[in-house]
Structure formats: C-alpha cells, structure tokens
Amino acid sequence: MSEARMTQVGRSLLRREDRRLLAGSGQFIADFELPRMLHAAFVRSPLAHARLGSVDLSGAAAAPGVALALGGAELLRLLPAVPDTQLALPSKWTSLVQHEFHNPQQPLLAHDKVRHVGEAIAVIVAESRYAAEDAAALVIAQLDELPAVLSADAALAGGAPLVHEHLGTNLLGAFTVTKGNAEAALAAAPHRLERRFHHHRYAAMPIECRGVAAQYDPRTDSVTIWSATQVVHWVRREAAVILGLPEARVRCIALDVGGGFGVKGHVYPEDLLIAFLARRLGRPVRWIEDRHEHLLCSAHSRDQVHDVEIGYDDDGRILALHDRFTVDCGAWNPIGAGVPYNTAAHLTGPYKVEHLSVSARTATTNKVPNSAYRGAGRPEAAFAMERVIDVVAASLGLESAEVRRRNMIGPDEMPYGAGIPYRDGEPIVYDSGDYPGALDQALDTLGGVGAFRRRQQEARLQGRYLGLGLGCYVEGTGVGPFEGATVRIDPSGKIYLACGAAAQGQGMETIFAQIVADAWRVAPEDVVICLADTAGIPTGLGTIASRSTVTVSAAVHEASERLRRKAFAIAANLLECAPADLELRAGGVGLAGVPGATVSLTRLAAAARPGWDHGRPDGVEAGLEETHYWEPPTVTWSYATHAAIVEVDPEIGRVRIDRYAVAHDCGVVVNPLLVEGQIAGGTAQGIGGSLLEELAYDESGQLLTGSLADYLVPTASDIPDIAMAHLHSPSPLNPLGVKGVGEGGAVAPPAAIANAVCDALAPFGIEFNATPIKPEQIVQAVRQRQRA
C-alpha cells in the first residue's frame, strides 16, 4: 500500500481488510495513527448592529497550531446562502386572519452585517482549543456600527432601523385569532378593565452547554455528527443539504445530553459548520460551547408584551377577552410562528371564553434569537390570563379562587371544544380532565383558602405580609406530525427498540423500557434502547413540545401489535396450535392453559431467520422486526393548578416562598417518580423566571448578564418543598391514555408567584404585572404608596 493510500486510510477508521493487508505487506501496523481531533473557536461580533467590511484572518492563519481560519465571505463562496422562506400556515387555520411569516435564514457565518452581539463572523480551527482561542484574538474585523433596535415596540415604530433591509420591515409575522364577537361583547359588558403584562427575556440554562463534533470518512464520503441536540434527524437533514450529500451518508448522534429544555430543539449554525469543516479538513473537528457563549449566542426565550382588555359581569364571569401582544424574536426566527401561536392557543386556559380576539405580532430586533424554552409560549399566556383574573377578582372584592371556579370548564363538559384551532391546524378540543378538581386539590394541599386568610390576617397584625397566589393552565402535548418506533426481537431474546426521541435526562430509557416490557411481558432489563441516533431509525422528529412519551408509546404499541401477530404465527407453527390460543409469557410465547408449552423469544428469533428451516411457516416473511410511525390525530391536553404562599418583606423587598403545591394531570402515569421529577424541575425553572433570571441589555445592545455571576439561577435554598397531588384523566387519543408532562411545571410559577406577591401587598394596593419581580421594585413600589 502506498504512502498516499496510507494517509487517506488514516483519515478514517481502518477496515479489518486493510489491517490484514498492512500486516501482510510487512508494514509496521504500530505506526498507524488515527487522525487527531481539531478544535474550533468562533470570532464573534462585539457590536449589536453593524456593517461587516473586511475580515483580516492573516494573523490567525499564521498562528501556531492553526489548521484553518475561515471568514463568512469565503464560506459564502464555498457554500451558497440558503434562501429566505415564507412560512405557510396550515390551511386548516380557518379562523385566522393571517399575514405571511417571513423567515430570514441565518448564515453559518455573518458576511454582510452583524445583527446581534455574539453573532459569529469567523471560525478558527486548531490543534487545541487554547490555540484556536489565541488565534481568534488576532482576527481584525472592520465593523461600521449601525443604530440598534432593542425592543419590539421600537422595532415596529415608524423610521426604526431595519434589521433585515431586504424585507423592508421589522415585522416578521402577524396573525389574529377570533371566536365570537369580542368587540360587541366588550361594549356590552357591565365591567371592563385593561392591563399591560410583560413576560421578560430569560433562557434555558442546562448543566451542559451545546457542543458538536464531526468526523468525515473519505472511503464512504460520509459524515458522522455528534451533537448535544434534541433533534438528531433535523440536524442530519440540514447537514445533508449543506454538504450536498444523501441523508444516508450523514449520521447524527446525541449522546448523554445534559439538559435541553428547548434551547437545543432546533438546528444551529455550529451544527452544520463543524460538519463542513470536518469534511473539508479530513480530520475530526470539535466545538464545545462555554457558558459565556451560551448566554451570548444560544437562543433566548419569552420577551412578550400583552395588552389585555377583559369584560366581565358582577359575578366575575368572563364575557369577552381581547389580547394584543408582541414577541421580540431577536435577530433571527428559528422556529417561526411556533411560540406566538402557542401563546394564542393557550391563552384562555381552563376557562370558558365565548368571545375572544387575539392579535400577535413578531418583531425582529438586535438581540439573540428568541426560540422555545420549557413551556414555549404557554408561560406567557398563563401569566397574562392568570394575572388579569386576579385583577378582576380584586375589582369585585371576590376571592380569586372563586372567580376561577365560576369560569372553569367542568368535567361533565369534556370533551370541550375551545372554538379555535391548535397549531397543528386541528380544532382545539380538551380531551379529558377535571379543572375545578385540580384547583380544589391544590388549595386543599395548602390547607384551604379560609385557613390561609385567617393566618394572613394574623400575620398582618404582626407586621408580616403573606400572600396566596394561583396559576392554572392547560397544555397541548404530544403534538405531531409523527414519531416512529422500530421494535425487534433480538437473537438473544431481548427486545430492541429504536425511536427518534432524544433523551436529555428525563429518564426516557426507563420509561420506554417499561412500556416495551409491559407490551412483551419481559423485564425492563431485557429491553435494549437506541435513542437519538439516525442510524437506529430512518425518520424521526425529536424531543420537543412535551411529546415523546405520548408519540413514542403509541408507535411502540402499534409496532408491537404487528410484531406480535408475526411472532404468534411462528409460535403457533412450532406448537402446532392456532395463534388465537397463544399468550405472551415471561420471555416467550405460550399455549394458554398449558404452562409447559412455551416457545422462548430466542427460539422465535432463530425460527424467523432467513434461509433457515427452523419452524417459520409458509407465507411468513423472515425477520422479527416492525416499524410504525404514529401520526396523532391532534394533541392531548394536560393541565394543572399551582398554588403558592409567599411572605414579602416590604423593607428589603425579599420574597420567600413559604409553601408551594401542584395538582397535575398527565393522564396515565407511566413512572410516578419521573413524573414528579419533571414537575419539580419545571417548577424550579419557573420560580427562577419569576424572581431571579433575566437577560438584560444596555442601550447599545450589549448583554449585561453574560455569566452566572450576573444571570441568577435559583439554588436549593430558593426552591421550597413542592407538595404534589395527581389527578388521572386518561386521554382517549392514544393507546396508553398518556399525556405529556415535560414542560408543564414551568408554565404556572410566574403567574402564581406574581399573584401571591400582589395578594401579600394588597394593603398597599400594588400590582406587579411584569417579570421578574425584583426586591428593588418591591421596595420602590411600597415607598411610593407610603408617600402617597
């Protein structure tokens, strides 16, 4: 074998045949070295909005250990830009008055202008991360600063600087959802009020930041990508397009991902660029995001402003609701209309609202792109709705729990049509549930409203301020369009499952093993799970939107049913009986009523092998494997009530959560411990968003909270013990009756805590209609009231 061939082979893993050839020719196999990993570092913009001129990479390219220094202009010559798209909304959205949604495509590296601080303008690839970082500091970029636009209101004002000039507007999309006649109902309502609610900008802080590694195999012209992603098939699809390869030659794997929460739920430029670099250089390339980069570049979330008008009667019953809200989506719009329409679809929550008008506008600004974070539009909706209900109750001198109860959909009204479409285009129909029951259980867990009011009054006499707050919501879960599962009886007798879900610490391996074990009457230890690997199943959607247990369990059920029919046909032939006389037993298939007549799964697998006459009957194809893609008819509806008791110190503005309760319903509970872990984790994140976490910018677009010293995540001392009560309303929309639970915990805490703080400070007549609620805001508001 020539030296050139040796070098080429060295860029990929040696095949066994190559190793034999090398050894046989007398060449020294010990001299062979696999290609060493290269490390990437990005040069990122220090300005929020600027024209990008020349980028001098010469100093970086000449630095020690640098393999490549690449700027956006050169990359554009190598990889043509992806054209902008216009998002077509589902034709089933018959009640929407809609504009077209613009979807400008983010380049892998900026080449004409930069649109937020931290946007990548060049990449350095070197022998070590240290060398890459040192070389990146030598890059000189010419940036001509432009005025930055930093809020949706500013972006939509006349004469605002344009983030994307070719669009001619900063409005990326708008829609209106209507039901009944809100304008007429508001005009006729005995009472009306208006409030503005702001749900601020914060983001997911997974314990593991993003990271990508890629390796190119020149022998097969294929690329393998390892990404800390929630959507491996989406990454593969986009990478194949960028690289000009068939999808069959691109493999994406997500290993043990340390948290996702939505921030890893779409494809980033780094996912694609690292794969391109590995192929171009013929060596593995890795990029690991540090925490500062995560805060500066990974998608943020929330940042909605709602102007709500509500009409109601003397008993607090809602007669009409009108909400006009804006979304600051930052410089790019990674998931289109998903978040704003989630907000609109979930706004009315568990309440009957006969007359509704919701108008949404999405504006682009010079901030980090805004995308999904646990809840993805639902916390914003719950905050607006739950706060306005408390304001209605206060205006009438009624207990807020009673106003909720009077407006709630009852269990005898299920299934309940909400009268507007969901984001899948299907009409929203709440499938099952007991919303008043959840409200009562949450309150009972805290000892009841009456007991709390007595305690609250006693505390006020002592100069202490306690408050009770509620947050109720519904959540569409298990959204389509599909998810797949491959179930196979392995020759060892174990059951193999592959699916498109991507675990990030939720315990999916445990849940799916339980589901498969129940379906096949085997121990969970006898189930082999393959997740987040495009080589495991050809098509998948991924783990987002509280969907994996719902969709994968249904796919597993259907695939298992098909496979069981085949296994029973083979077993019936071996046992000389009818398939109808068989049953699943521990590790095999047996003749009902005859304990000793059993065929093991190992024997069935052997009988099913092609080319072997081991008992497979005529007409039954070889192999014991089935794949099914579950396409749900629409979403299932989980729901919950969160109840919080807080104590507020008006002198220093401290909010201490005294007690916290959650009454939750996610249908059939597969694993109670994991469900409670999901609820507790989401609640902790919601508490962080209520009181601590904030992504703040200065007037020039510089991020002020660029480290965890400034961006405050809650610690164990900030999170109370969470008392949980479970309701069980199985969904009729899937075989197991399950509903999603992944995002729910994060939806209600901002509303519940804000309501509790307002209730505590009711003697001062103070409202807090924006998050986060900060100590200095409390102190200032109390002092203003005391001076008035």
Confidence of residue 51 (pLDDT cuts 50, 70, 90): very high
Confidence of residue 90 (pLDDT cuts 50, 70, 90): low
Q: Has residue 303 got a pLDDT over 80?
A: yes
Confidence of residue 5 (pLDDT cuts 50, 70, 90): very low
Q: Has residue 687 got a pLDDT over 60?
A: yes
Q: Has residue 26 got a pLDDT over 80?
A: no
Task: Give me the mean pLDDT over the 590-596 stretch.
Answer: 93
Confidence of residue 92 (pLDDT cuts 50, 70, 90): low
Q: Has residue 505 got a pLDDT over 80?
A: yes
Which pLDDT belongs to residue 12?
Answer: 34
Long-range interactions of 613-621: CB distance < 8 A, separation 24+: 615/570, 615/573, 615/574, 616/570, 616/573, 617/569, 617/570, 617/572, 617/573, 620/566, 620/569, 620/570, 621/566
Q: How far is CA 753 from the centre of its chain?
A: 23
What lies within 8 Å, CB to CB, of 741 at 6+ separation is: 477, 546, 549, 638, 664, 666, 675, 678, 679
Q: Please tell me the distance from the alpha carbon of residue 769 to that of residue 766, in angstroms, as a whole number.
A: 10
Which pLDDT belongs to residue 98?
Answer: 54
Q: Please tell me the distance from the alpha carbon of residue 146 to that of residue 380, in angstroms, as a whole number.
A: 31
Task: Give me the mean pLDDT over the 63-80 stretch.
Answer: 95
| % of the chain residues with pLDDT over 70 | 93
Task: Give me the mean pLDDT over the 467-481 stretch.
Answer: 97
The model's pTM: 0.93
- Condensed to tens digits (0 to 9), the pLDDT of residues 232-251 reads 999 999 999 999 999 999 99
Which pLDDT belongs to residue 85?
Answer: 56
- Condensed to tens digits (0 to 9), the pLDDT of residues 98-145 reads 556 888 999 999 999 999 999 999 999 999 999 999 999 999 999 999
Confidence of residue 623 (pLDDT cuts 50, 70, 90): very high
Q: Has residue 209 got a pLDDT over 80?
A: yes
Confidence of residue 73 (pLDDT cuts 50, 70, 90): very high
Confidence of residue 416 (pLDDT cuts 50, 70, 90): very high
Which pLDDT belongs to residue 27?
Answer: 44
Q: Please tell me the distance from the alpha carbon of residue 676 to that of residue 672, in angstroms, as a whole number.
A: 6
Which pLDDT belongs to residue 80?
Answer: 75
Q: Please tell me the distance from the alpha carbon of residue 297 to that of residue 293, in angstroms, as a whole number.
A: 6
Confidence of residue 33 (pLDDT cuts 50, 70, 90): low
Q: Has residue 95 got a pLDDT over 80?
A: no
